[in-house]
Structure 1
Amino acid sequence: MTTVQVAVPRKGRPLEAVLERVAHHAGPAADATERADEVVSTLRFEKAVTKRDRTADRSVYERLADYSDPSDPYAPEFTLFRDARDGFPRRVAFDSLTVPTEAGDVQLVGREEPFRALRKHEFALGFDSADLVLEEVVELRPEPLATLADVNERIDPRDTDVRVAGGLGDTVYHTLLATPETRGDGGRPLDRSFVAGHEGDLCISPRYERLVEAVIGTDALDDITFCYPGEDVDEEEAAIAEAGLGVYLTVTGSTARDNGLLVGEQLFPSETVLLENVHEMDERAAALAELLIDESETELVAPASD
């Protein structure tokens, strides 16, 4: 049976979410959960070594050789990437893992930018953060983009053949945050309408500028000036507290509150999503997509594209 290749991130929360989902659908004798855990623990250890939180007693090349088992077609594979930071010329990254499922063998292939790999027609399927879609291809409009289900409608088919097929439910939110002084004593809701009536700075991460424009809506930003955390700021919430108003990812909002911020409207879900290149899809890829996306596990499943 032909293996279906799926582009996935090389590290981080999205990769862990994909590994968990695919392992859940693996055959009973595949040891997929144990292999997925092996990938996660290996990458966390290597991240700790890179950040100097852990010490390795072997060179990176020796560790890489130990992580690999060429005799086992279902063993995870890793690779080395150049790290831009001084003193760390190489880092271990995820390369691939093949998992047997009822839809056939699935090979998860690590890519630095899975979404862009699909845009270049290298894969029919891929997983990436929904943020990347907003940052690159959705149309900016006066009205805000509020749900993942609306993303496909804002993708110009002349720009890309990639569409959002559904989410994995590992959701955190881009959330509006403000100091009590910025909100004032009027008790106004801390939502998009508040931003529309605000004049001055809005602190965001530089990489999220286009995303914020999409989820707040361009009309609401007429009197807003984006500002960004300085390089010496450890917590972006601290920079938002200094600016008075901002947007950042939250789970519980506890760090924001620790910095004296009020937690406002959840503007948009940051979720790992399954992406399809509609021109590369075939029956095997479609069967795998149907297997991996369970609408009961997330309210953010996008409608099928035309």
Structure 2
Amino acid sequence: MNDFAGSFNVLLITSGGTDRLIRNRQRCPTFLSTTAFASASSVVCSLLNTLNYTTVFAGLDSQATTTYFQYVFSQVTAKLLDCGVTFAATTAPFSDNSSVRKVLKDFDLKSRVFLFFGQPPGLRNFLMVASEMAMTNGDHVYLAVCQLSNAEFGHFTWQLHNKDDEKVKRAYRSVLLLSLLDETLYGSPSIRSLSQEWADIYRSMYNSTVLTTDLPIPGMTGTHAATEMGGIAVMEALARQESLPEGDNGRMLADLIRNRTYLNLQVGGTFKMGSFGIVLHAVQLGSFGGENGLLEVNKTTRPTENDFFISLMILIAGSHCRRS
């Protein structure tokens, strides 16, 4: 689609995803993106390089109920070798203790850094088995990638008011949680208010009292931001020229949107559009925080276009986890 849009000089702003071709301005001169999620492969590679982790073990929970983790798993493992990281990878049902033991034994032989791709229940059981195998005592680190912290995707926490909570609590001290979504930007009060307004309109128009699912706030935010940015570009172009040249003017509009900061969009927050046409994301790294049952954010870093993790070494350097 991006090639098609570029060939016909049509502005294309995606809000649900992007790809590496967006950086090729000659091939895709009209392609921009307001997608909510930072590039998983770029972020993970930058983090591993910053922490000097050169060998990792990647595991995908085959029982995860969303396709997001499978997608991110494939994206990350496809790029690890390119960023100088040797890896082993596996897919297994992480609710099955015998499968988890097999994975952990293989992991212990090959690395000390485990990249976990799956939902909170899978990680909880994985950590319980790891604890039984004495693999949560500081010699291993488990880096889990988080999609959204909500009822649908779950919350990474040890506190479920179960009898094994204390065991999981101790094991969680070996976990780092990487969030690729800036929920303060892609879930602002203004967009949540707008979401409720749209839900009310849907109920009145279709005589429906219950929505089958919650509205996807991050996707709504990205779509709304894209519409606003496009509208601003058109208004600015008209103000300069009074009338636009014939055609779709995609290149001109894309150039007006790139490499600028939007402070007052209706969706709220500050959107920074980079020179490659990608919104720059704040990524968060969290670890076990204390008695509240949730992982707490230790560091929020707004990335440049070339380096996501500039100062995290200061945060992690004192970790008791042995590096590979």
TM-score (norm 2): 0.29
| Structure holding more strand per residue | 1
Higher helix fraction (1 or 2): 2
